[in-house]
Amino acid sequence: MTPGASVPETPELFRSLAEDLRSRTDEQLAALLVARPDLARPAPADLVALAARASSRPSVQRAIERADRAMVHALQAVVIAGETHPVGAAAPHEVAQLLGADDPALQDVLTRLRDVALIWSSAEGIHPVRSVAEVLGPNPGGLGVRAAEIPDRYAASSPPSAAELADLLSTAPAAARAIVERLTWGPPVGAVPPSGTSRDGAIWLVEHGFVAPTGLGHVTLVREVALELRGGRLYPRTALAPPVLQLRAVEQVTAERVAGTHARELLDQIEQLGTLWSQSPARVLRSGGIGVRELAALARTLDTDAPQAAFVAEAALGAGLIADDGEIAPAWVPTSEFDAWQARPASHRWVDVLTSWMASPRAVHLSANGDRAATTPSPLGPELHWPPIRSLRADVLAELAGLPAGSAPTPESVGEAIAWRRPLGDDQSIAVGVAAVMQQAEWLGLTGLGALTSVGGALAEGADPDTLRSAADALLPAAVDHVLLQADLTAIAPGPLDGPLGRLMRLVSDVESRGGATVLRFSAPTVRRALDAGMTADDILGQLAAASRTPIPQPLDYLVRDIARRHGQTRVGGATAYVRSDDEAVLAALVADRSLSSELLRRIAPTVVVSQADPVTLLEKLRAAGYAPAREALDGSLVVSAPQGRRARDSRRRPAARGIPDPTLRLVDLEFARSVVAALRCAPPRPAASSTPSGPLSNPPGESANLLRHAIADAFPVWVGYADGNGRTARHLVRPVRIEGGRVYAVSGESDAEQVFLLHRITGAQPG
């Protein structure tokens, strides 16, 4: 929140916020625009318009939402202390008394509030900008209604003095004292039951001026009484400094190594997801998400649990690697970008996933991942769109980046620190969100063993993609170019597999275990998978021999050649489907096999069996029954081409995925802020009416619009005639700033803020 600019310990005195802004340096103004980006888009006409926008309720609301707890507490103290003064200014010592803070600590907080233009100082004291009190609400600091706002018919309009409070409370009924104890530190409003001792206690408090009736069946503690009972302080403890994180030390080198392993594993999981959904797309639910069974199948394929599988799917969705294909029976399938992504270096792929995660407005932790009720959002569903998660990710990474290298904080302490920095948020939601973000950062490789890595630090600082890729190259473990074949039909990859070797091993083997080294298992289905893709036994064994540092084990040679020898002995075609084989005993076994009775097999020749089943279905049934058929084409040749995976249409040429909006972020960086400040410094003075226009202000609309555009380009004032909603026409001397959407934005001496004129209501214009 702090822009980086500061003011002297003894603040300067001004007559208005506009004068305060006018006195600041260009760097201080640029820092203000970076801290409050809504002030820079669209660019204000001049410094007066900037001050007016900074005082508007929407802008003040956004600024206070970004303020930390110390700033909010100090701002509440300024508002409360200023209520007793005619001009609404608070004396610094009154603010310090309300907060129970010493001057140096308070001065730093007030400096930060002035830096972001939420307060300004005059000879009378500290002023909150307009709209601050409205944004803070009717009960700042948990205090109730002021005595001055209470009707005279209630005793609370003249509450008891400080000297009378102790005596009155000593004689009050026990129920009245209990109510006062509950309301003192807020919330100040309590419900009154229709009968009983609590009602009698509330009536006693109303009669003696402690509380005032506010609404049917409710009472509110008087603000002056609450302050006396609190000892003149707003809070029992004023948190002017952030909480201290609970840290444990880890070896930074070890953390970097673990994070690199996690990053490699994530990239492998995304590739496995794309391969799986390319051949067996996951059905899109009516609500737009993914079903429990599809998520469980994905988790089994990735060899992980449902929450991490859901995160992998969301990471792929955010990076544009999967999408709803938009068909009549929609499914989640890889996009064309997935194929290009696979061909990139590992560091480029990792950075693509990281940057898309940071910018994604989707919060996968809001789903229950496979163990959910009917009303819980499903992964990939539109209900997971929650834009605040972006700022929460940035806050968590910024918190970790501020720690020494090798520091691993607990999620609970990070949640407390974020809650201090965002005091207007819900503490429970922040705690859950922070824990989820820290877990996802571990899966992404941004942290290792809880400590931020060099890549995580670069991402937290907003580094450009080239810098991130350089850091990723240094962190990712180098891919290996060989495997170690073993006699138990396994292969050991002593590091990550990439490129052609990685694709070969994923085709001919399955992952059995992961760790420092990956264990891959050869089996009959994996060998058959390679044969179905068009490879021969010699191709498989030759490529494995070239990639292995050990010779081909005899069991693996036997497995590959045995499966290849039997592969295609039995062939399946369509007629609707037929099965033919030179081995008549095999066909006799097929016809007699009871597990295949549903396929209605019928022998029409010694070497031919037909079925009413679809050829693809019959092929799968025979393989499930333990046979090894191959697919046959019409000309009798084997069908060896790998099945073509489904792809979603180009996302750049079609609407966004079902129910998932595509947000855009408009950031204000320091360079842009400096250009806005330069324009503000060069803004011409506002026109002041010293004469009247000559003749009636009645021009053709096109002529008036051209004149207004020339006035914007050359920055000269014009007289405009403007018809209001009642048909009355008034004349205004203004300096047009811009024309957008049929509206003319202009400034004049009549108002501090920009004025808006509808273009079709302008009756005419002439130079001023």
Say if residue 328 is exposed, middle or buried (CB neighbours under 10 Å; 0-12, 13-18, 19+): exposed
Tell me what the pLDDT averaged over the chain comes to.
85
User: Does residue 653 register a pLDDT over 60?
Assistant: no
What number is the average pLDDT over the span 633-640? 74
CATH classification for the domain delimited by 687-767, as one of 2.30.30.100, 3.40.190.10, 3.40.50.2000, 1.10.10.10:
2.30.30.100
User: Does residue 620 register a pLDDT over 60?
Assistant: yes
Q: Kindly state the tokens that stand for 734.
A: 């203004």
Q: Are 721 and 731 in contact (CB under 8 A)?
A: yes
pLDDT value at position 30? 93
Q: Which of 171-185, 232-246, 352-366 has the lowest mean pLDDT?
A: 232-246
Give the model confidence (pLDDT) of 487-535 as tens digits.
899 988 887 777 788 778 878 888 787 766 788 899 988 888 888 888 8
User: Does residue 611 register a pLDDT over 90?
Assistant: no
User: Does residue 45 register a pLDDT over 90?
Assistant: no
User: Does residue 479 register a pLDDT over 90?
Assistant: no
CA distance 421 to 525: 55
pLDDT value at position 478? 78
User: Does residue 2 register a pLDDT over 50?
Assistant: no
Give the model confidence (pLDDT) of 439-452 as tens digits.
999 999 999 999 99
User: Does residue 396 register a pLDDT over 90?
Assistant: yes
pLDDT value at position 412? 94
More confident of the two residues 612 and 266: 266
Give the model confidence (pLDDT) of 212-256 as tens digits.
998 788 999 999 899 889 888 888 887 788 888 999 999 999 999
pLDDT value at position 60? 93
Beta strand 282-283 pairing with 608-611: unpaired
pLDDT value at position 312? 94
User: Does residue 540 register a pLDDT over 80?
Assistant: yes
Domain ranges in the chain?
Answer: 17-142, 147-229, 247-475, 484-551, 569-631, 687-767
Phi, then psi, of 76 in degrees rounded to 5: -65, -40
Q: Kindly state the tokens that stand for 546.
A: 């070239």
User: Does residue 643 register a pLDDT over 60?
Assistant: no
User: Does residue 568 register a pLDDT over 60?
Assistant: yes
What number is the average pLDDT over the span 683-692? 78
Give the model confidence (pLDDT) of 93-143 as tens digits.
888 888 888 777 788 899 999 999 999 898 888 999 988 989 988 888 888
pLDDT value at position 650? 54
Give the alpha-carbon dihedral of 25, 30, 33, 37, to 10 degrees: 180
pLDDT value at position 663? 44
- The neighbour count for residue 639, using CB atoms within 10 Å, is 17
More confident of the two residues 354 and 611: 354
pLDDT value at position 666? 58
What percentage of the chain reaches a pLDDT higher than 90? 26
Q: Are 274 and 334 in contact (CB under 8 A)?
A: yes
Q: Are 361 and 372 in contact (CB under 8 A)?
A: no
User: Does residue 566 register a pLDDT over 90?
Assistant: no
pLDDT value at position 452? 93
Could you tell me the strand order of the sheet in which 629-631 lies? 602-605, 608-611, 577-580, 570-573, 629-631
Do you know the residue count of the chain? 768
CATH classification for the domain delimited by 17-142, as one of 1.10.10, 3.90.1460, 2.60.120, 1.10.510:
1.10.10
pLDDT value at position 645? 62
Say if residue 644 is exposed, middle or buried (CB neighbours under 10 Å; 0-12, 13-18, 19+): exposed
Return the CA Rg of the chain: 36
CA distance 677 to 34: 11
CA distance 768 to 766: 6
pLDDT value at position 34? 92
Question: Hey, what amino acid is at 52?
Answer: A
CA distance 125 to 527: 82
Query: pLDDT-based confidence at 328, cuts 50/70/90?
Result: confident
What are the Cα distances from residue 254, in Å, to 258, 261, 267, 406, 723?
6, 11, 20, 9, 72
pTM above 0.75, yes or no: no
